[in-house]
Structure 1
Amino acid sequence: MSYSVQNKVALVTGANRGIGKSIVESLINHGAKKVYLAVRDVNSTTDLEEKFGDKVITVEADVSDTASVQALAQQAIDVDIVVNNAGVGTPQSILGEDVEKDFAFQLEVNAFGLLRVANAFAKTLEANKGALVQMNSIASVKNFPHLSTYSASKAASYSLTQALRTELGAKGVTVLSVHPGPVATAMAVAAGFENAAATTVVSEGIISALEAGDFHLFPDEMAKQIEAAYQSFSDNVIMVDFSE
């Protein structure tokens, strides 16, 4: 089902930089009337506040903390669109002394963070027939050895996103799973990726995917290569309801 951001109220976690910041800009440029900037550091969004004035509202939130996310949902009771963009990604081999600690940390933010956000905002999104956008990754479907724990955490968040599509979709909520490849952010630099895609490729892709009523978005060149190989599996397994 097509979903327009025009005149909608949105909330973006991790809105202060990188893809999150670009998503805020794209939402407003395409007609969103207000965007909550959900960040851990409320002093990190000054440039967006100066640029967009009263169209943006900075709110404190930490997706790794249940109480923080619940408080956020109580503040933003008018939201139509929730973009769960906040995430972490650190290079980590699958073998090493710190791998368990690193994996637990990335699961806490990337997978449990999604659960917290989805549960906190479910009733509001249902009431407003809204949209939930989850920032996943090509690493959701392909494990990259130097990003082993990140890949596994994103595979978990992608699996949860599929469940949310079923649960929330039945209640009139649009769910979009976003799977970028390397994007020009600090995370991509740390992972050693070169020639990364611009953040606007992702943010503008989200607007288009919502309008098209798509569940998956593979926005950039590398992501589209994976999408081409993944499409048959997606069509015949992911998008099929085997309970019928």
Structure 2
Amino acid sequence: MSKRYEQVGVAMTCRSFAEYERMFALGQLTALDGPILDVASGASSFTAEACARGIDAKSADPLYSMNANEIMSHGEQEIVISTQKLTAIRETFDWSYYGDLDRHRALREQSLDRFIQDYRQYKDEGRYVPALLPKLPFKDGTFKLVLCSHFLFLYHEQFDYEFHLQAIQELLRVCRPGGQVRIYPLKSLQWDYYPHLELLLSTLEKEQIKSKILASELPFIPGSTELLSLIK
């Protein structure tokens, strides 16, 4: 039996503010006061929960061309499918945060529900923006912090080096000088590190971008204990 997580296409993500805090080690930041952009955010409730805390946050994802009922249906199906996949290879993962499959699924469902409530209320106010990397509909230097979870690097077998470079350059474009772009995880669904990371960081260094590999506080994917921080 394969220990890989088999995935065709890009899966919808449904993760909470608490998970983002740990994935991206946000507690290490001096202040989490925005403006923040969550890219490829799917049905994660990070933005909803951040805004409820008084933080200026937005989300961008191509899914936001869909209505709330469509996203809800898609998210419910995705949770069922992903839980089945995790069940088959459960011993592969680090369950220290989630505890077990039932709690993992419950957190996915809670995040989806929280997202849908907020999406219905604030979609028309511009909190959720339809956008597909490597192009984002925001002005240069708009955000203090730009986050991208479970998309870049994770799907490196589907998206080539040029896509990754252009996508990250776009994340940096909408980040203000002195701000940060944080990307998690650095591993793919085959549990290997992104093979072109050294080349990517070398190219960005020539564009005056500083990079740091930081410790993530949510090790779930095998060996995925790190995140990438890019400082503009």
Q: TM-score range by the shorter chain?
A: 0.3 to 0.5
Higher helix share: 1
Higher RCO, Cα 8 Å, sep 6+ = 2
What TM-score do you get using the length of structure 2 for normalisation? 0.46
What TM-score do you get using the length of structure 1 for normalisation? 0.45
